[in-house]
Structure 1
């Protein structure tokens, strides 16, 4: 009479055979692929890895940029919704609770990661990674902050955990096909990249072994979700949850489960019913470890100059470049033609949300000669007669010829005046991208503008100074006092 274990093994073997997949051995021992061995070993060594100077600098840029997105996001509808949710689950200075940014509340690491993540993508302020089509910072930094406070890590470990998160989350999606996967699948590349990045960062703060890192990846696969229906979200709340809140909290959960002793599958990226078979059968696993430790994806991630959606960055740069060469008023403009690739154009074409509506933002640029954070979030202004008049001059063309440049989003803008004068500006490298990076001063100016109205000028500059000298922070929990406000909103 076969035992229950033998019966279950027999069923598993039969199921694998019926699918044409590899067999499971009697002892459930799995062959770990070279990619998984390299990946998990790299992940466990990341907490003690010395990073190149330029990587450290970029990590600081992205950390303060993401914290600024959280602080400013606490005032917007998604952030308000997140704070309302956590208010009934938060503590006031209780032990074991982590910082909820922009409030006096604290919550568990998992809940803090959720709320801070939603705030990080409350709008279009956070960074983006074109080769994977993800927004790494809004999931990775909240996860690293919450888990880092959980384990009382120092500032150097925090830098390394964040850097690792960018490396892992983006590579998983690049292995799946990158932008091609994102555009052709119903699944959300942003959520998938976010959850793997968040899990890697959180696991690094816990200093898990290589085997434990493999189990973290396993539980992360089980929690990987998100579909492209977020494009229909007009309030940005579901989008903030999908891109950031959910991935950040799920990533922290994966790390905490394994740190608490849970075990799992040794190689979820290979073998029967593996992650890539389920999500992207044409995936190239070698991209998981391509130039790992040599090419740091945090240095390949854009920081936005403009606090608007990524596809609008190029057109605004182009318009500003034209205006710097020739002064003219909005009244003198006959037409503005903007050319974008079809997929990028579809994201920003006459959207109801101001910070991702190209026509509205281009109209603001014509009238204001810039696009401020306030203007980018001014819903009421979308109905202003002057804006509506300027919008009628904006023509967005979905140009198939620009698709060939993806993942680079090339933008071409043509401005024609009523007297016949005409200028054409093409942007191949948006300001804030690796090919046209922002300076430290530009990053600081952007972040200070976003945070001062919430934290106050003194606390804002204290936080900025602290991040740029993060190696001197002995306990990440000390950041809490700089990120909280007096209100328990």
Structure 2
């Protein structure tokens, strides 16, 4: 049996945080930022319902039919909480619209928000409780990965995205079930056994299994783990540490904070990023640089070459990928040809074979920079050279929407409206956003009605 000192036990520290999160007040800045991420995730779910991943996900609703616990966005039906949460998570990561946590390398919103929505609807929780649960989920997912060391576990073949979203969704569920530290300890034990997902998601060409790994699998597993914990199932105590614990099996290679260092509810949502561009996170900085160069850019037909530097780890993720929304070369070429990007152009698969775009794509060179990697942050250096040898260059140090250069409420709202209105219409979109921006004031019944507006 594993002997532990509670004062130095990561499991005990996390369980205590989860108990305290059920009643801890949220700072005003955390309430505002949490609403930004909830609005952004709703926009990702609603727009995702019309993409190939969303259509595929919604085909599974018949097989998952059961108790009408929670809204399934894009379908005129409610499903059991775990199933609605899983489908909504698929929609939230149907493309690259959703948010990210840069330092811990996962997408929190696509799992944590759908998990919280489903339980709030089933168990009649208020908007204020949803805000607290979402903030707690972001803290937990990010801190688990920081304790493990995200680059290390990725290099060993584990998916940081699956791990962070699992513990984040589980923490949100724990908060809404109002688990005490004893129940939270048992939940953590089940979550450690559910920890799965491989970095082979990088080989997915259709984004379907990627969406499952990043969000849907975690929601399903977390909500089932929370339900059986609530039912009284017992488990191994202190499952994060010790021989055969999560930290031992996954390995710890990070120099970041361990779980025994203090938590402050909402810190990690303040450090999370919302995307200006509906494309893969590592591409954001390059597009910001092109946008900043503006009229100084040469016309697409006079471009001789484009040189782009990204942090080494990020460059490997987006280098000439088959999926349009995570291929840096394709998206940069598309930007130069069209003079910008839209949601529709990013998702137009036919543009992958557009001869004008393909010809320009071949002139774009991406290299990984250890200097940018070591400096940290989401950065890019973009150099564009025309056929006359004229050169323009821009370095983005803080991407728009990241914690170093955050988008204000107005920009988040504008992005959400652009993504929601094609599915919901202008009036329904306005009604939904008005409620989400006032989430802390919604009763359980009002929150249920607000979520129902999203479909």
State the TM-score, normalizing by the size of structure 2: 0.95
Query: Does 1:329 find its partner at 2:299?
Result: yes
TM-superposed CA distance for 1:313, in Å, is 0.4
Map residues 90-489 of structure 1 onto 2, 5 A cutoff. Answer: 90=65, 96-182=68-154, 184-282=155-253, 287-293=258-264, 296-324=267-295, 326=296, 328-406=298-376, 408-475=377-444, 476-484=447-455
**Offset, 1:285:** 9.2
Q: Deviations over 1:154-191 (max 9, x none)?
A: 00000000000000011001100123432x22000000
Q: Secondary structure of the equivalent of 1:483? A: coil
Q: Deviation string for 1:122-158 (max 9, x for gaps)?
A: 1011111111101111111011111121211000000
SS of match in other structure, 1:315: helix
Q: What is the rounded CA distance, in whole Å, between the counterparts of 1:227 and 1:482 in structure 2?
A: 35
- The answer to which of 396-405 and 152-161 deviates more is 396-405
Distance, in Å, in 2 between the alignment partners of 1:323 and 1:261 is 60
Question: Counterparts of 1:39 and 1:327 in 2: how far apart (Å)?
Answer: 50
C-alpha distance in structure 2 between counterparts of 1:87 and 1:458, whole Å: 30
In structure 2, what is the Cα distance between the partners aligned to 1:69 and 1:112? 15
Counterparts of residues 7-46 of structure 1 (less than 5 Å): 23=1, 32=6, 33-46=8-21
The root-mean-square deviation of aligned C-alpha atoms, in Å, is 1.8
Give the corresponding residue for 2:31: 56
Q: How many Å apart are 1:404 and its aligned residue? A: 1.4
Runs of 4+ displaced beyond 4 Å: 281-286
Structure 2 CA distance for partners of 1:37 and 1:455, relative to 1, 3 Å: same
**Contact kept in structure 1, 2:275 and 2:281, CA below 8 Å:** yes
Deviation, structure 1 residue 397:
2.0
Question: 1:332-389, CA deviations, whole angstroms, 9 ceiling, x for partnerless residues?
Answer: 3222111123321121111111101111100111122211111111111111122122
Partners of 2:48 and 2:216 in 1: how far apart?
A: 12
| Alignment partner, residue 12 of structure 1 | none
In 2, Cα distance between the equivalents of 1:468 and 1:295?
Answer: 17
Gapped regions of structure 2 (runs ≥ 5)? none
Contact 1:276 1:283 in 2 (8 A): no
Could you say if the C-alpha distance between residues 254 and 307 of structure 1 is closer, same or farther in structure 2, counting changes exceeding 3 Å? same
Shift of 1:102: 1.5
Shift of 1:85: 1.0
1:31-73: CA deviation from partner (whole Å, max 9, x where unpaired): 5444333321221121221111111110000001011111111
Residue pair 1:172, 1:196 contacting (<8 A) in 2 also:
yes
Alignment partners' CA distance in 1, 2:387 and 2:347: 30
- SS of 2:139's equivalent in the other structure is helix
Larger Cα-atom Rg: 1
Q: C-alpha separation between the residues in 2 aligned to 1:446 and 1:289?
A: 38
Moved more, 384-393 or 462-471: 384-393
> Which residue is 1:8 aligned to?
none
Partner SS state of residue 56, structure 2? helix
Aligned length: 452
- Give me the whole-angstrom Cα distance separating, in 2, the residues matched to 1:355 and 1:66: 17
Structure 1 residue 214: Cα displacement: 0.9
Q: Could you list the per-position Cα deviations for residues 68-99 of structure 1 after superposition, in whole angstroms to 9, with x for gaps in the alignment?
A: 111111111221111101223336xxx64211
Would the alpha carbon gap of residues 199 and 384 (structure 1) be closer, same or farther in structure 2, given more than 3 Å must change?
same
User: Shift of residue 24 of structure 1?
Assistant: 5.1
Checking the alignment, whether the CA contact within 8 Å between 2:152 and 2:252 is kept in structure 1 is no
1:243, distance to aligned residue in structure 2 (A)? 0.5
| Residues 388-422 of structure 1: per-residue CA shift (max 9 Å, x gap) | 2221321212333332134x232110011223321
Q: Report the Cα distance in structure 1 between the residues aligned to 2:150 and 2:261, rounded to whole angstroms.
A: 14
Q: Structure 1: which 5+ runs fail to align?
A: 1-22, 485-489
Say which SS state the counterpart of residue 95 (structure 2) adopts.
Answer: coil
Instruction: Determine helix, strand or coil for the equivalent of 1:86.
Output: coil
The secondary structure found in structure 2 opposite 1:128 is coil
